[in-house]
Amino acid sequence: MHHLLPFFLIVPLAGFLLSLIPSNQQEKPIFRIAAGVVLTHFALLVALLIGWGMAGFEDLHWKGFDLYEARSAHFTIDLFFDRTTAVYFSVTVILTFMVLMFSRFYIHREKGYKRFFNNILFFYSGLTTILFAGNFETLLIGWEIIGVSSFFLIAYYRDRYLPVKNALKVVSLYRVADVFLLYAIWLCHHYFHKSITFFDLNNLMPADTPLIFGTVFEITIPMAFYVVAMVKSAQLPFSSWLPRAMEGPTSSSAIFYGSLSVHIGIFLLIRTYPLWHTSTWFLVLLAFTGIATSVVATLVARVQATVKTQIAYSSIAQIGIMVVEVALGWHTLALFHFAGNAFLRTYQLLVSPSVLSYLIHDQFFHFTPPQHQKADTFWEKLKVTVYMLSLKEWNLDTLMYRLLWMPLKMIGNSITFMTARMAVWIFVPLYVAGVVLVFQREELPQMLLRWLPTALAFISLLMIIKAFVKRNEARNAWSLVIVSQLFVGLAIAYNEQFDPAQVLLFYSGISISAAIGYRTFYILEKSGESTMLDRFQGHSYERPRLSVAFLIAGLGLIGFPITPTFIGEDLILGHVHQNQYLLAAMIGLTLILDGLAVYRIYARLFLGPHEKTYHEIAYRSS
C-alpha cells in the first residue's frame, strides 16, 4: 500500500498547476478543479485506509527519489503514514471540501476568485506534504509552501492597508519558525550523521530509552523544535499573530487559521516525541507553556469585541491543552481533541457573519447601557486590571515588536555608512578578492582562517539589517540582500574544506532571481512608476504579471523550493560546526531577515492601495 503515498503529493500539485489555466471569470472550472483534487484525495484515502487496515495498521514508509546526494548530505523525498497522519489528513480532506463548497458562493464574482482558489490549492499542497513527510527535509518543503500561501491568503484583500500589514506581521514570525526548523534539521544531521526519517525515529530505540542524552543536543534539538511548534500553534508569547491572520476571507480563516494550520505545531511535537520524551525539564516546559497559554487566551477571548478574535483565542486556549496532552504522552487524546476543535472552529467561523449580523440587529432593538461599577476592593481592582490586560491582548503584539524587531530596526537605522553604493563599490571587490583567496586558503594564517568566517558572516548580517529598514529605492535594498547572500556563501567557503559545487548550488537560484529583480525595477522605472519603499505602491493593479515575476524572483532569492538555493541553504548550514554558535546565530539571523526584507520589498511595490488617485481607495481593514 505504500506505493499509493506519492499520489497524495502529486494530485494537489497537479491541481494547483491546472487551476492556473482558467481566467478569473471561469468560476465553474476553477471550482471543479479544486473540488476534484479533494474528492480524488478522499478516494485515495479510503483505498489506503482499507489496505492499511488489512495489513494490520503497520506504519507505511516510501523512500522516493534523491534531490541531492553528497558525502555529508543526503536529501530524499521520503513519505510516511501512521495513525497521526491518518487522523490529520482525514480531518483535512473533510474540512477542505466543506470550505470549498462554502467558498464557491462566498467568493462569487470577487476580483480575486481565481487567486483565492489558487492559494487554497497551494496551501493544501503544502499541508499534504507536511502530513505525509517521512523526513525533516520533505517536511521543510511543505512548511515553506504553507508560509508563502499564508501570506497571500491573509493579504487576499491586497488593496487594503491592514490585511497587507498583518500579512507581513504574520510572515515575520513564520520566518522565525522556518529558520529554527532549518536549525533543528542541522542539529539532527550533526547528531545522527545522516538524514533521519520518522520511520527510524519510531523504531530506533525502545520507548523507555532516551534517544538523546548527556550531550548538548539534549537541550538544543528539543528547544529548536519547541520554538517552531510554539510559533506555528500560536502559543505564548507568539499568540498575537493568529487574530491578525483573520484579516483574510472568512473561509480561509476557517479552514486554515481556525482548524488546520494552527494545529501543525501539535503534529510536529507528536512527530518529534522520541527526541525529547524522557527529558523531564522539557516536558515541564511544554506543560507550563500550554497551561499559561490556555489561561491567558481564555481571558482574552472572553472580552474581545470582534467575533474572529474571540474564536482565534478560544482555539489557542484549546491548543494549549493539547500541548499539555502531548507532554503527558496522551497522543490519542490529543488527536481526538484536535479533530473536535478543528470541526468546531470551522463551523464557528463559517457561521460567524450570520451570527454577527443577527446580534447587531438584536442589540439595535434591545440595547441596555452598561451599569457603572466601582472598583473599591483589592479583588475588584485586580479584576479590572485583568480585564484591561485581556482587552489589550496582554500587549503580546507590542512585546513581540519590542523584543524582536525594534532592536534590529534601531541597529539598521544607526548603520549610516552601509549604502547600496558602498556595497557595490567596496564590498563586491572585497568579495571578489575573497573568492580568489579561498582557493589558496592553505597559505593563509590559521588565526585568520579561524575568525574569517565569523567576520564575513558579520558583514553579511549588517547588510541584511540595513536592507530590512531601508525606505528609499527598492533597487538599493535588493542589492544589499543579494550581496549579503554572497557573503554568507563566502563565509562557509572559508569555514572548512568544501565542495565548490555546493556553494554554486546555493548561488544558482540567487543569480537568476537577482537578474529578474533588476529587470523588474528597470521596467517600473522606465514606465515612470515609483519604486520607493516609503509607502505601498500597489503596482499589482496595473502590472499583475510583473508582480508574479518579481514574486517568483523573491522566493528564489530566499530559498523557497523552486530553485537549488533551497537545498543550498541546508548544505551551507551543514558546514557550520556544532560548536560555532556565534557563526550559526549570525547566519540564522541573516536567513530570517533576508526573507523579511524580500517580503517587505514585494509588499511595498505591488500590494496595498495604489499610488495613483484614479484607482478606488479601499477601506483600511477587511
C-alpha separations of 55 from 41, 47, 133, 204, 504 in Å? 21, 12, 21, 22, 46
Residue 256: per-residue pLDDT: 78
Judge whether residue 147 has pLDDT over 60: yes
- For the chain, the structural domain boundaries read 2-359, 415-606
Q: 3-class DSSP state for residue 110?
A: coil
Amino acid at 471: R
Judge whether residue 46 has pLDDT over 60: yes
- What angle is formed at CA 486 by the lines to CA 426 and CA 550, rounded to 5 degrees? 105
Residue 36 and residue 15: Cα distance in Å, rounded? 8
For helices 264-271 and 217-232, the axis angle rounded to 10 degrees is 160
Could you check whether the bond before residue 237 is cis, i.e. omega within 30 degrees of 0?
A: yes
- What angle is formed at CA 142 by the lines to CA 601 and CA 289, rounded to 5 degrees? 90
* Cell triple for 71: 558525502
When comparing pLDDT for 448 and 98, which is higher? 98
CA 388 to chain centre: 31
Query: Residue 519's pLDDT band (boundaries 50, 70, 90)?
Result: very high
99-116 pLDDT, tens per residue? Answer: 999 988 888 888 888 999
How would you write 552-614 as a 3-class SS string? Answer: HHHHHHCCCCCCCHHHHHHHHHHCCCCCCHHHHHHHHHHHHHHHHHHHHHHHHHHCCCCCCCC
447-478 pLDDT, tens per residue? Answer: 777 888 888 889 888 888 888 888 888 888 89
| DSSP state at residue 193 | S
Residue 340: per-residue pLDDT: 93
* Cell triple for 474: 527598492
Q: What secondary structure does DSSP assign to 444-491, as a single string?
A: S-HHHHHHHHHHHHHHHHHHHHHHHH--SBHHHHHHHHHHHHHHHHHH
Residue 380 and residue 390: Cα distance in Å, rounded? 15
Residue 128 and residue 190: Cα distance in Å, rounded? 28
Prediction pTM value: 0.90
Residue 580: per-residue pLDDT: 79
Query: Residue 364's pLDDT band (boundaries 50, 70, 90)?
Result: low
- C-beta separation of 508 from 563 below 8 A: yes
φ, ψ for residue 108, nearest 5 deg: -55, 130
28-39 pLDDT, tens per residue? Answer: 999 999 999 999
CA 64 to chain centre: 25
Judge whether residue 283 has pLDDT over 80: yes
